[in-house]
Amino acid sequence: MSKKRVFSGIQPTGQIHLGNYLGAVKNWVDSQDDYENIFCVVNSHAITTTQNPQELREKTFELAGMLLACGIDVKKSNLFIQSEIDEHPALSWILDCNISMGEMNRMTQFKDKSLKNSKNVNVGLFNYPALMAADILLYQTDGVPVGEDQKQHLELARNVAIKFNRDFGECFKIPEPMIPKVGARVMGLDDPDTKMSKSAKGANHAIFLLDTPEEILRKIKKAATDSQTAIVFDENRAGLYNLLSIYQIFTHQSKDEIEKDFEGKGYGEFKIALADVVIEALRPIRQEYVRLNAEKGYIAKILAEGADKVRPIARETYQKAKELIGLI
């Protein structure tokens, strides 16, 4: 029986942080044997905000190198750059013409990002969900690993696929959301009420995968906790709960085991233990990233090969949609 096909994308803006890794990338790596995987650096999505062209090119390759360093195995998964497959924007236009303004207006991320970037609220930002839907539907995707913040966009992709199939004929698979139960939402170290973000300004907000051991220790020591003393999993104690959840993901221990290990111990001791765990987990990723970047042209070659493998799937889907809607 063939494996289910999974599609995931990540933007090349800012550095990958612990939230990206634990909430998405680590799950991609760990499940590579279970699915037919298509991973995409979604650089076209990045230009909804103004980018320096040279920096965008560099960050696109840096992100691809980081995904490989994290463990994306090109013998098991396909990795490519979104803008190298012309069918993404082409299908997006067809989908645009089949999504109502009402549906687009309900997208909460557009409202949030418009407030944060009020000087450049462009049509691309508004239409972002249509391009995301095209990314997914082009590859006849069975499942999409998504965080809660992207679930609404996936629902739009499902809705437009169902509508298109009904109105014009069978064309798209209807993708299902895949939301990991653990690590799906890592919060900011300095503000555990907000999701860890690349764009947050605080120096101690996020741990980046290329941070030095000294930087990781400093950030964890300064992480927000509370005035209580017991080290227990309590969702009402957001700062401590966030740190304990990170510790649990890396150590694979149960909540009871962790609470027993730190019974009678203070925050300082726990934070040092957490820093040690994070530092050791990220060390091989940093080392592999340096090694990959020393091999000039290797990452570009991997990305070109990945695009060549998935392009026929995208082309076939787009041609079918084009015919069904009457464009040829």
Catalytic positions:
113, 195, 198
CB atoms closer than 10 angstroms to residue 193: 10
DSSP secondary structure, 228-289, as one string: -------TTSHHHHHHHHHHHHHH---HHHHHHHTTT--HHHHHHHHHHHHHHHHHHHHHHH
- Sequence-distant (6+) residues with CB within 8 A of 65 are 289, 292, 293, 299
Structure tokens, 94: 């067809």
- Rounded to the nearest 10 degrees, the angle between the axes of helix 87-96 and helix 123-137 is 110
Q: Where do the H-state alpha helices sit in 120-150?
A: 123-137
* Amino acid identity for residue 121 in this structure: V
Structure tokens, 276: 């040690």
Closest CA to 7 of 116, 128, 145: 145
